[in-house]
A and B are shown apart, each in its own frame.
Chain A
Amino acid sequence: MEWKGAEGFDLGLYKKFYDVWVRSTSEMLHEMMQSPQFAEAMGKTLEGSLDFKKQLDELIESSLKNLHLPTTSEVTDLSRRIRALEVQVQDVSKALESLKDHLQTAGQPAEKRPSRKPPKR
């Protein structure tokens, strides 16, 4: 069933026109974005925004230091230390689990233990 607008216009016709516009504009933009000039402009825009962010970060960092408040770099450093500790704790836990398994196996009666070849002399 056709969808008619309030004044009786056939909106399907507008939709067809819209679809043609979308197709042609998308093709044009795709071609533009595949060009080296666009890639270069995009890279320069990003670099500009990164320069701005870096300056802003430095300003915020110095302001926080003057106010004796923790800075982003200090929090990042703490976060790294916590992560390193977490990794160490996990490694120790893993080693303990493995030791526990080993001790349990050693405590089992001989017939239940996994068979082992005698060491070569």
Chain B
Amino acid sequence: MSTGAELFSPKGMGLLSNPKSVKVGQTPCEVLYRKNNLVLKHYLPRKKQAASVPLLVVYALVNRPYILDLLPGRSVVEQFLNGGIDLYLIDWGVPDEGERDRTLSDYINGSIHDCLQAVKRAAGSEQVSLFGYCQGGTFSAMYTALHPKEVKNLVLLAAPFDFSANGSLNLWARKEYFDVDKLVDTYGNIPASILNSAFTMLRPIYNTVDKYVQFSWSLSQNGTSSDDKIEMFLAMEKWLSDGIPHPGEVFREFIKGCYQENLLVQNKMKVGKDQVNLKKIACPVLSILAESDHIIPPESSRAIHDGISSVDQAILGFPSGHVGLTVGSGPRKTLWPKVVQWLVERS
């Protein structure tokens, strides 16, 4: 059992009394490009480059990207930098009313394309590798299918492709239950509170009761430093409560085309005037799956491998949840070094 002194060390006490003081996203970076709310970040290299091709991280339009750089020692960004990869990240920022009408094409053929060109110029590279997390992975795959010559390698982290797979979100979003037009027409941008309610309901007991009980219980047990546990717990809570609205029009297109019609795996999804044909993806592709993912069923992520024409493709499964892939200690030790190695060998 922990003593009172261990539980309430100055650092732990300070964090508990002021949860917002926990610092996230601390890895040093510079702003390479800015357009309205979007910021393209370039992380400062830590060692000599092991890969000549830069890596561009495409995050989802849901939640903040600092989950990939939550705390020192719990950071996917650090893993890439320590592996000698030249790293860039698209932070979409907080959408305002002016962003409600932006379409899927504006994001994919506009923003992602502009950022990729900026990375190419900055790195002096002919091509860029893409790394997409969750919805950002779906966007990255769409971009690669539409602009195959621009992308050297494609890495997908828990990204959905087959929306007919068995999963609560896939069920709740079906058109017979969910009127996405009414939601977008009423709200414009979709408030974070609505998105968070849906995510909370995926695991209601865990999200509202159990995680707090387990946290309190873990503090009372012997083991790793309580300060670290407190800092990690509060950083996660900060991220979970720091949601951002989802831009409206692209939400409508994404829900209708992907969740309700499942067009992407049928090669019928439209981005602007262009039809996305996954067969046009021929570059090396690596999919990373969370085997206990309650948000994106692993079979939904696997589906892309049935449709692409890449000769060099691989799937890495890991026994964790959707977010655990990025912040868990297990993936840090065994998963991310493999991903870095995969990229370095192909860059």
Interface residue ranges, A against B (CB under 8 Å): 1-3, 15, 18, 22, 25-26, 29-30, 33-34, 36, 39-40, 42-43, 46-47, 50, 53-54, 57, 75-76, 79-80, 82-83, 86, 90
Residue of B nearest to A57 (CB): B186
Question: Could you say which residues of chain B place their CB within 8 Å of the CB of A79?
Answer: 96-98
Q: Is B242 an interface residue when CB atoms closer than 8 A count as contact?
A: no
List 25 A–B pairs whose Cβ atoms lie within 8 Å, in order of A's numbering.
Answer: A1-B222, A2-B1, A3-B221, A15-B217, A22-B206, A26-B210, A29-B204, A29-B205, A33-B202, A36-B171, A39-B174, A43-B176, A43-B178, A43-B179, A46-B178, A46-B183, A50-B183, A50-B186, A53-B187, A57-B186, A80-B98, A80-B101, A82-B98, A83-B36, A86-B98
Closest chain-A Cβ to B114's Cβ sits at a distance in Å of: 9
The residue that A3 contacts in the complex, of B1, B183, B187, with Cβ under 8 A, is B1
Question: Could you say which residues of chain A place their CB within 8 Å of the CB of B168?
Answer: 30, 33-34
Closest chain-A Cβ to B204's Cβ sits at a distance in Å of: 6
Question: Could you say which residues of chain B place their CB within 8 Å of the CB of A57?
Answer: 186
Q: Is B273 an interface residue when CB atoms closer than 8 A count as contact?
A: no
Residue of B nearest to A50 (CB): B186
Q: Is B291 an interface residue when CB atoms closer than 8 A count as contact?
A: no
Docked-complex contact B97 and A86, CB < 8 angstroms: no
Please count how many residues in chain B sit with their CB below 8 Å of the partner chain's CB atoms: 35
Residue of B nearest to A81 (CB): B98
Bound CA span A25–B207, Å = 13
Docked-complex contact B179 and A80, CB < 8 angstroms: no
Closest chain-B Cβ to A19's Cβ sits at a distance in Å of: 9
Docked-complex contact A22 and B183, CB < 8 angstroms: no
Question: Could you say which residues of chain B place their CB within 8 Å of the CB of A54?
Answer: 186
Contacts A79-B98, A86-B36; A26 near B217 (Cβ below 8 A): no
Question: Could you say which residues of chain A place their CB within 8 Å of the CB of B222?
Answer: 1
Question: Could you say which residues of chain A place their CB within 8 Å of the CB of B209?
Answer: 22
Closest chain-B Cβ to A46's Cβ sits at a distance in Å of: 7
Bound CA span A45–B100, Å = 24
Bound CA span A90–B106, Å = 14
Question: Could you say which residues of chain A place their CB within 8 Å of the CB of B182?
Answer: 47, 50
Docked-complex contact B205 and A42, CB < 8 angstroms: no
Query: Nearest 7 A-B pairs (CB), nearest first?
Result: A83-B98, A43-B177, A79-B97, A39-B177, A79-B98, A1-B1, A50-B186
Given A22-B206, A43-B176, A86-B36, 4 additional A-B pairs, CB 8 A: A15-B217, A25-B205, A79-B98, A83-B98
Bound CA span A20–B202, Å = 19
Question: Could you say which residues of chain B place their CB within 8 Å of the CB of A18?
Answer: 213
Contact string against A for B residues 129-144, beta-carbon threshold 8 Å, 1 for contact and 0 otherwise: 0000000000000000
Closest chain-B Cβ to A59's Cβ sits at a distance in Å of: 14
Q: Is B203 an interface residue when CB atoms closer than 8 A count as contact?
A: yes
Closest chain-A Cβ to B244's Cβ sits at a distance in Å of: 17
Residue of A nearest to B167 (CB): A34
Closest chain-A Cβ to B170's Cβ sits at a distance in Å of: 10
Closest chain-A Cβ to B27's Cβ sits at a distance in Å of: 28
Q: Is B35 an interface residue when CB atoms closer than 8 A count as contact?
A: yes
Q: Is B31 an interface residue when CB atoms closer than 8 A count as contact?
A: no
Residue from A33, A36, A46, A47 whose CB has the most chain B CB atoms within 10 Å:
A46
Docked-complex contact B36 and A26, CB < 8 angstroms: no
Closest chain-A Cβ to B122's Cβ sits at a distance in Å of: 15
Q: Is B13 an interface residue when CB atoms closer than 8 A count as contact?
A: no
Contact string against A for B residues 192-230, beta-carbon threshold 8 Å, 1 for contact and 0 otherwise: 000000000111111001100100010011100000000
Contact string against A for B residues 1-18, beta-carbon threshold 8 Å, 1 for contact and 0 otherwise: 100000000000000000
Residue of B nearest to A18 (CB): B213
Closest chain-B Cβ to A114's Cβ sits at a distance in Å of: 16
The residue that A83 contacts in the complex, of B99, B204, B210, B221, with Cβ under 8 A, is B99
Question: Could you say which residues of chain A place their CB within 8 Å of the CB of B101?
Answer: 80
Question: Could you say which residues of chain A place their CB within 8 Å of the CB of B177?
Answer: 36, 39-40, 42-43
The residue that A22 contacts in the complex, of B36, B179, B205, B220, with Cβ under 8 A, is B205
Residue of B nearest to A29 (CB): B204
Closest chain-A Cβ to B84's Cβ sits at a distance in Å of: 31
Closest chain-A Cβ to B203's Cβ sits at a distance in Å of: 7
Contact string against A for B residues 162-182, beta-carbon threshold 8 Å, 1 for contact and 0 otherwise: 000000100110101111001
Q: Is B188 an interface residue when CB atoms closer than 8 A count as contact?
A: yes
List residues of B (134-160) whose CB comes within 8 Å of A's CBs. none
